[in-house]
Amino acid sequence: MTKSYLEKHLNQVLEAGNKIFVPYIMAGDGGLDQLNEQIDFLREAGASAIEVGIPFSDPVADGDTIQQAGIRALREHVSLTAVLETLNQNKDREIPILLMTYMNPVVQYGVKAFARALTEANVSGVIVPDVPMEEEAVITDALKEEELAFIRLVALTSPKARREALKQRAEGFLYAVTVTGTTGERAVHKDEVQAFLTELKEGAPVPVLAGFGVSTPDQVKKLSQFGDGVIVGSRIVKAFHENDRPVIKTLIAAAFNS
């Protein structure tokens, strides 16, 4: 498969001697009218790509902070359709955008129509945490037709053979889940995370990013030493909700000093 725009962009970050930083934001938390401005802020602050979450009523992978952000967005009547329409208003941005959603909204929208809508909104890839590798063709066939990256998640608890299979299928980047459980801030990560990231990086065809539980500049730096960068969700969502943007700038800057 040809390298996606997302993968090329992330490799350019690495070639420049920096680590990759992907912030997660919940679309519509505080109102959809803020989404494009938040994307512009994150791009200017130095984010490598941006993960945009779609609010969903049963977010099995999300911890409390992101769940609450999703509830606030749903109260604003935010939907997948509305998010795509909003992203369409700012489609000339150069920074890669990833959509993080669950499969139910995609099925409701229509899988092929969803893939086409992503392309129209200049979205580069998608993360769907409730679709296992064995069933991913339900969405990957449509994404492939539009040359969109399907981001696979690899867990600490995944057997070695499964990790290898996911690694070889990887597109855009490999999402290394560095905790057991849902998203959310963690004080420490287990010692086995270092070995986990090192193993994934060996022979990986795409960058390896550590996510879940990354919430401090020190964690950004430490985890970036063993992988190619990080994804930060709950801390970014909390900072936007509390209007504490200096925290976001500090987190992103840590990836450039790793």
Quote the pTM value: 0.94
Query: Taking Cα atoms as reference points, which of 30, 27, 25 lies closest to residue 82?
Result: 27
Find the mean pLDDT for residues 67-87: 96
Q: Using one digit for the tens of pLDDT, what is the confidence trace for 78-93? A: 999 999 999 999 989 9
Q: Using one digit for the tens of pLDDT, what is the confidence trace for 162-183? A: 999 999 999 999 999 987 644 4
Which residues are CB-neighbours of 133 under 8 A, at least 6 positions away? Answer: 152, 162, 165, 166, 169
Find the mean pLDDT for residues 5-22: 95
pLDDT: which is higher, 63 or 234: 234
Q: Using one digit for the tens of pLDDT, what is the confidence trace for 111-133? A: 999 999 999 999 999 999 999 99
Q: With bands split at pLDDT 50, 70 and 90, how would you rate the model's confidence at 59?
A: confident
Q: Is the pLDDT score of 188 beyond 80?
A: no
Domain boundaries, the chain: 5-255
Q: Where are the strands (E) in 190-240, listed by range? A: 208-211, 229-232
Q: With bands split at pLDDT 50, 70 and 90, how would you rate the model's confidence at 58?
A: confident
Q: Which of 26-30, 181-185, 215-219, 226-230 has the lowest mean pLDDT?
A: 181-185
Find the mean pLDDT for residues 2-16: 89
Write the CATH number of the domain with boundaries 5-255.
3.20.20.70
Q: Is the pLDDT score of 189 beyond 80?
A: no
Cα dihedral 181, 207, 174, 123 sign: positive
Token pair for 68: 């609450």
Query: Taking Cα atoms as reference points, which of 234, 224, 141, 142 lies closest to residue 181?
Result: 234
Give catalytic residues, as residue numbers: 51, 62
Q: What is the Cα–Cα distance from 129 to 20, expressed in whole angstroms?
A: 21
Q: What share of the chain has pLDDT > 90, as a percent?
A: 84
Q: Is the pLDDT score of 1 beyond 60?
A: no
pLDDT in the model for residue 180:
64
